[in-house]
Amino acid sequence: MTDHDSLIATAHALADAAREAVRPWFRRPGLEADNKLSAGFDPVTEGDRAAERAMRAVLAEMRPDDTIIGEEFGRTEGRSGISWVLDPIDGTRGFLSGTPTWGVLIAASDASGPIFGVIDQPYIKERFWGGLGQAQMDGPFGPRPLNVLGSRPLLDAIVFTTFPEVGSAAEGQGFHDVASKCRLTRYGMDCYAYALLAAGQIDLVIEAGLSNYDVQAPIAVIQAAGGLVTDWQGGPAHEGGRILAAAGAEQHAEALKILSNVPLD
């Protein structure tokens, strides 16, 4: 098995393990959440913890020399040059609300950034993956390749973000300035919006205030499907922050022209 084969097999094994660990917690009566913030609400549940523990156990067996960067249990150093960036439940607010728009995010990264990613939705058993020569999804309708929509004008575009306020007041205004030029605006999908972009359903995802574990898997999947993911200045986005994901160069350029003028906090 080549190292690429090993990375791909491990990523799917991680997704399988997380899927089995987290599904019993979804829509579970009486599920409680701890708040990670002193002001505001950033929930974490036993489902989050169970999924990350399950993935860490797989890595301990399959790739013990790799680094792990997980949202819930932090960083475990390795020595191979490969890092696994894990978000056991991206969209815990949706998870708590019973909406099937949350997902498990898994990225294998090297010094250049993410090289393979998985977006997995355990409840509907839908998986999107890309990198290392692959761009594929599988789910209720069976397997199919991932391909973004391609370039088209912003006036024809469908744009997503998770929260209507996006981030700061200035960031929110930047998003709404882009959205006002688009055909359709939708909210609240968390990582599932990035999966829809890779699958050729939508044009843009615009967000702010993200962490590396929020974006590395979507970056790998979208780029493998032919899309673009940058920050709001057009630079690399794999460490998080302000994110602009696009299905084509035209949408990206038009949105970037607006977002690049948003002042830094």
258 is in an annotated binding site: no
156 is in an annotated binding site: no
Q: Is residue 82 a contact partner of residue 207, using CB atoms and an 8 Å limit?
A: no
Distance (Å, whole) CA 17 – CA 50: 10
Distance (Å, whole) CA 211 – CA 240: 4
- Strands (E) located in 139-227: 144-145, 158-161, 184-187, 204-210
Distance (Å, whole) CA 179 – CA 160: 9
Strands 33-35 and 43-45: antiparallel
87 is in an annotated binding site: yes
71 is in an annotated binding site: yes
214 is in an annotated binding site: yes
Q: Cβ contacts of residue 20 below 8 Å, gap of 6+?
A: 54
Q: Cβ contacts of residue 93 below 8 Å, gap of 6+?
A: 41, 43, 190
SS3 content of the chain, % helix, strand, coil (to 5): 35, 30, 35
Q: How far is CA 73 from the centre of its chain?
A: 18
Q: Which parts are annotated binding residues for Mg(2+)?
A: 71, 87, 89-90, 214
| Binding residue numbers | 71, 87, 89-90, 214
